[in-house]
Amino acid sequence: MKKLNKDIIIIGAGPIGIACALECKKRNWNYTVIEKGALTNSLFNYPLNMTFFSTSEKLEIDAIPFISNNAKPNRNEALEYYRRVTTSNKLNINLYEKVVQCIKNNDHFDIVTSKAKYRAKKVIIATGFYDIPNLLNVSGENLPKVFHYYKEAHPFALQDVAIVGASNSSVDAALEIYRKGGSVTMIIRGDSIGERVKYWVRPDILNRIEEGSIKAHFNSEIKHIDQSEIKVQTPDGDVTVPNDYVIALTGYRPNFKFLEAAGIKFSKDEKHIPDYNKETMESNVKGLYLAGVICGGMETHKWFIENSRIHAKIITKHIEAAFS
Ligand SMILES: Cc1cc2nc3c(=O)[nH]c(=O)nc-3n(C[C@H](O)[C@H](O)[C@H](O)COP(=O)(O)OP(=O)(O)OC[C@H]3O[C@@H](n4cnc5c(N)ncnc54)[C@H](O)[C@@H]3O)c2cc1C
């Protein structure tokens, strides 16, 4: 297989990978974005009816206007926006090509994908965290009735559904399924609904729980999942709850194995923060940059589009100095 030579390879075509591509394009660099799925694959896999907590201008890249019907855009509007930014700027993006290896050899990087081999002077990893769910690690988790992603409510009408977690995703799913005729039980490890739940959604979930239309077990964990029921450990002892589906929305994590294989080091604590220079976004591997939400390690709430879109300009400014 012939090796393709590039100045820059960007791994991941999420909002931040696209922002990096725009900056490379402006400088006429020989760059390619390699994306294993569809364009903005994480956003594509979000719940169909999700609304962003950010207003649309906070999701803009390079100040290209993002017009949405309401102040806070929905998934379809965001897909439309990032798609239009990509097509109207004719960005170089290879879709459905997975990067399996990225190794530094002397002054360059050798990148192996599912379709080709590349040699690049610099690499930007913007692979996010949405591909690997945090598992419950309980018996029965591999049954087909257990999901770690939520798309829409209709399949769960008239069904007993357990939702694990108390974050925005869990709360949105619980409310939506309840309103489409599902019987919802939330299993929550802490003693309350998550602090970061959207302020306009919070009263809704609290009231539904208080009136009993959505059941909630706080300080509780699923212990076992069966075909027709689940066992839940609660402060009052174990309870058995009738169950057709489990939706475990317990967060996601970056692909640490991939990053480690690329030579990236991490903080030794449970946060597992990758080693990078905050001024330049360059990792401990010279010439290898990190961009977007991947920078948070296990702290996946720390970075989002709003505050990480700036990474694209920081990185390309640093590369520009190295190239000149
Ligand atoms: C439900 C939900 C709501 C959110 N709401 C907001 C909000 O309102 N405001 C906000 O600012 N943020 C929000 N976020 C966070 C934000 O959407 C993400 O932070 C954003 O997608 C991060 O962009 P990114 O480009 O860093 O990563 P991603 O968008 O995750 O992009 C990473 C890309 O890399 C690709 N990839 C991964 N591995 C490989 C590989 N080996 N080879 C090739 N490609 C690969 C993936 O397929 C993916 O397309 C929300 C997140 C969720 C889950």
pLDDT attached to residue 324:
86
CA-nearest residue for atom 51, ligand 1, is 304
What three-state secondary structure class fits 310?
coil
For position 254, what pLDDT does the model report? Answer: 97
Residues contacting 235, CB < 8 A, separation 6+: 218, 219, 220
User: Counting atoms of ligand 1 from 1, which one is nearest the CA of 292?
Assistant: 26
Helix/strand/coil for 265: coil
Angstrom distances, CA of residue 248 to CA of 149, 208, 220, 317: 7, 20, 14, 41
CA-based nearest residue to 305, from 72, 106, 145, 69: 72
For 234, the 3-state DSSP assignment is: strand
Per-residue pLDDT at 199: 92
Residue pair 150/175 in contact (Cβ under 8 Å)? The answer is no
Three-state secondary-structure class, residue 199: coil
197 lines ligand 1 (CB under 6 A): no
pLDDT, residue 318, reads 98
**Beta carbon of 113 within 6 Å of any ligand 1 atom:** no
Cα(250) to centroid of ligand 1, in Å? 16
CA 40 – ligand 1 centroid, Å: 7
For residue 58, the CA-to-ligand 1 centroid distance in Å is 15
Ligand 1 centroid, distance to 229 Cα (angstroms): 33
pLDDT tens, 15-47?
A: 999 999 999 999 999 999 999 999 999 999 999
Return the residue whose CA atom lies nearest to atom 4 of ligand 1: 52
Q: Would you put residue 61 in left (φ > 0), alpha (ψ -120 to 50) or beta?
A: beta
Q: Helix, strand or coil for residue 36?
A: coil
Asked if pLDDT for residue 57 goes beyond 90, the answer is yes
pLDDT, tens digit (0-9, with 9 covering 90-100), for 300-310: 999 999 999 99
Kindly report the average pLDDT of the chain as a whole number: 97
Residue 237 has pLDDT above 80, yes or no: yes
- The predicted structure's pLDDT at residue 159: 98
pLDDT in tens, 77-114: 999 999 999 999 999 999 999 999 999 999 999 999 99
- What is the pLDDT at residue 99? 98
Q: How big is the chain by its Cα radius of gyration, in Å?
A: 21
